[in-house]
């Protein structure tokens, strides 16, 4: 498949392949079939948490876009990361943008596509310009607080008494389409409300509508959305082979259940498509080895057969996890080798994700025990004391009383 020249119709089909939804596919058809020029598309990522293996899902579609001759712009959205409920300080976000660039390039090279038509753009390189700022003001005059909050509901972190930055976020994501000069924006289906906002409001400030391409949301290993903040739901790109196998052994995969099974989804949206891109005939392959004496390996070329076998328990959770572990370890190996060979990448990783400072131990008040003169006493902020030995250690609250008590005590001794 890698060497075959695609027709315009094949390019359009590859661009749409495995997407959950496309808004304004007429724009895609105009560009690819009528104008017969490369589609210009952007995908943005807020540079906050460490990229995990869930990033292979959008990378596979970006690989498809590049294979279909599209020009792809990857927005390293450092300012968006700062605005999203201050998930990270702006200084760290800038280092993380560099780290993301290393990771994304390496992921795409591992998939096996040319990066010739790929462009990285740092958000702050144009989002701080006077023109962009004026556009934010213009958009804010036609978008209500309700609509901005609704648009970002599934993307921006939701908290009580949220900062205004969360309302600016979807406006910026809409404007990026204009300032990046693209025909389409790509993202997960969780971005749909922001995409709908962009289609509605950009024409109100004199800009054209764009097409929007949406990937399905792939479940995490623990079920639910794969999250960078939940270590049990994700596998880090730099996790060792042992860590990968351990996490996959613990992953959620109930026998005969395919709904919510993150491993089957990963096979469907990452492992099979990657093998298809690498194969000259475009044929995917996923293999699950069986123990000696249990028969030949189970080999799958399409997800429907795999799901059928899983429902019938011919493909067990243990076999599925073993096959996914082998495939993922092989996929991550060249990325990790590249990381180990690059001092610059290693240095950026340390700056982007510095180790957390160990929590300081709280000083516990010393228990002097019952042998302390007067037994247990406690000093109060005003200088007075309380406890069983109060009478023996209390010298009084006034100077006169203290002097009197001290004189009595000295005579007694």
Instruction: Establish if 290 belongs to a structural domain.
Output: yes
Q: What share of the chain is helix, strand, coil (3-state, %, to 5)?
A: 50, 10, 40
Q: In angstroms, what CA-CA distances link 277 with 265, 285, 309?
A: 18, 11, 24
Instruction: Establish if 1 belongs to a structural domain.
Output: no
- Same domain (yes/no): 22, 169: yes
- Same domain (yes/no): 307, 388: no
Instruction: Establish if 226 belongs to a structural domain.
Output: no
- The secondary element (H helix, E strand) that includes residue 371 is none
- Same domain (yes/no): 107, 78: yes
Nearest of 277, 280, 331, 276 to residue 300 by alpha carbon: 276
Report the Cα 305 to chain-centroid distance in Å: 31
192-221 pLDDT, tens digit per residue, is 999 999 999 999 999 999 999 999 988 876
Q: What is the DSSP letter of 231?
A: G
Nearest of 66, 73, 50 to residue 109 by alpha carbon: 66
Q: How high is the pLDDT of residue 347? A: 96
Q: In angstroms, what CA-CA distances link 89 with 94, 308, 353, 355?
A: 9, 47, 12, 15
Would you state the structure tokens that stand for residue 76, as one six-digit string? 């390293």
Would you state the structure tokens that stand for residue 259, as one six-digit string? 């709904």
Would you state the structure tokens that stand for residue 157, as one six-digit string? 């972190």
Q: In angstroms, what CA-CA distances link 361 with 124, 226, 315, 355?
A: 40, 33, 50, 18
**Total domains present in the chain:** 3
Determine the Cα–Cα distance for residues 342 and 336; give it in Å rounded to an integer.
10
Neighbour count for residue 354 (Cβ, 10 Å): 10
- Same domain (yes/no): 192, 336: no
- Same domain (yes/no): 183, 236: no
- Same domain (yes/no): 165, 206: yes
Q: How high is the pLDDT of residue 244? A: 93
Q: What is the DSSP letter of 110?
A: H
Q: Is the dihedral of CA 180, 185, 190, 193 positive or negative?
A: positive
- Same domain (yes/no): 195, 236: no
Contact 5, 67 (CB under 8 A): no
> How many helices and strands, by DSSP H and E, does the chain display?
17, 10
Contact 190, 227 (CB under 8 A): no
Half-sphere exposure of 14 (CA within 13 A, CB side): 25
- Same domain (yes/no): 58, 164: yes
With a cut of 50, which residues of the chain have pLDDT below it? 1, 85, 374, 382-383, 393, 395, 402-403, 406, 408-413
- Same domain (yes/no): 206, 303: no
Q: Residue 199 maps to which CATH number?
A: 3.40.50.620
Instruction: Establish if 101 belongs to a structural domain.
Output: yes
Instruction: Establish if 309 belongs to a structural domain.
Output: yes
- Same domain (yes/no): 80, 126: yes
Contact 96, 81 (CB under 8 A): yes
Determine the Cα–Cα distance for residues 104 and 102; give it in Å rounded to an integer.
6
- The secondary element (H helix, E strand) that includes residue 233 is none
Q: Residue 279 maps to which CATH number?
A: 1.10.240.10
Instruction: Establish if 266 belongs to a structural domain.
Output: yes
Query: In which domain, by residue range, is 320 found?
Result: 231-352
Q: How high is the pLDDT of residue 219? A: 83
Would you state the structure tokens that stand for residue 278, as one six-digit string? 């690498």
Angle among Cα 15, 299, 233 to the nearest 5 degrees reads: 65
Rg (C-alpha) for the chain, rounded Å, is: 30
Instruction: Establish if 336 belongs to a structural domain.
Output: yes
Instruction: Establish if 29 belongs to a structural domain.
Output: yes
- Same domain (yes/no): 304, 402: no
- Same domain (yes/no): 209, 263: no
Task: Annotate 307-326 with DSSP letters as a single string.
Answer: HHHHHTTSS-HHHHHHHHHH
Angle among Cα 56, 83, 54 to the nearest 5 degrees reads: 10
Residue listed under structure tokens 């994304």 = 104
Is 96 strand, coil or helix?
Answer: helix
Q: Where among 190, 215, 240 does a domain terminate?
A: 215
């Amino acid at each position: 498949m890698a060497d075959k020249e695609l027709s315009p119709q094949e390019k359009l089909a590859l661009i749409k392949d495995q997407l959950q939804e496309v808004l304004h596919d007429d724009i895609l058809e105009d560009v690819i079939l009528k104008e017969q020029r490369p589609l210009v598309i952007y995908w943005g990522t807020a540079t906050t948490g460490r990229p995990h293996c869930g990033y292979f899902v959008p990378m596979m579609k970006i690989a498809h876009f590049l294979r279909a001759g599209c020009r792809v712009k990857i927005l390293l959205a450092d300012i968006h990361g700062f605005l999203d409920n201050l998930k990270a300080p702006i200084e760290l976000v800038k280092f993380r943008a560099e780290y993301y660039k290393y990771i994304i390039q390496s992921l795409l090279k591992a998939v096996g596509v040319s990066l010739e038509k790929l462009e990285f753009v740092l958000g702050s390189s144009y989002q701080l310009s006077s023109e962009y700022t004026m556009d934010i003001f213009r958009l804010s005059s036609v978008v209500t607080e309700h609509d901005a909050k609704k648009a970002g509901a599934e993307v921006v972190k939701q908290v009580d008494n949220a900062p205004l930055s969360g309302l600016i976020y979807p406006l910026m994501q809409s404007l990026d389409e204009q300032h990046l000069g693209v025909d389409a924006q790509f993202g997960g289906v969780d971005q749909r409300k922001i995409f709908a906002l962009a289609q509605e409001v950009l024409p109100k400030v004199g800009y054209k509508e764009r097409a929007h391409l949406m990937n399905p949301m792939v479940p995490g290993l623990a079920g639910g959305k794969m999250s960078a903040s939940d270590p049990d739901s994700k596998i880090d790109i730099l996790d060792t082979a042992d860590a990968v196998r351990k996490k996959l052994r613990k992953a959620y995969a109930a026998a005969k259940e395919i709904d919510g099974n993150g491993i089957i989804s990963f096979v469907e949206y990452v492992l099979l498509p990657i093998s298809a891109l690498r194969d000259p005939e475009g044929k995917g392959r996923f293999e699950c080895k069986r123990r000696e004496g249990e028969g030949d390996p189970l080999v799958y070329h399409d997800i429907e057969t795999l799901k059928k076998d899983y429902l019938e328990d011919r493909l067990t959770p243990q076999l599925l996890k073993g096959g996914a572990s082998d495939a993922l370890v092989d996929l991550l190996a060249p990325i990790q080798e590249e990381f180990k060979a690059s001092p610059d990448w290693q240095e950026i990783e340390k700056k982007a994700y510095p180790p957390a400072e160990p929590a300081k131990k709280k000083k516990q008040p010393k228990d002097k025990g019952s042998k302390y003169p007067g037994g247990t006493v406690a000093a109060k902020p005003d200088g007075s004391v309380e406890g069983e030995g109060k009478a023996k250690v209390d010298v009084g609250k006034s100077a006169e009383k203290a002097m009197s008590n001290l004189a009595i005590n000295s005579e007694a001794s």
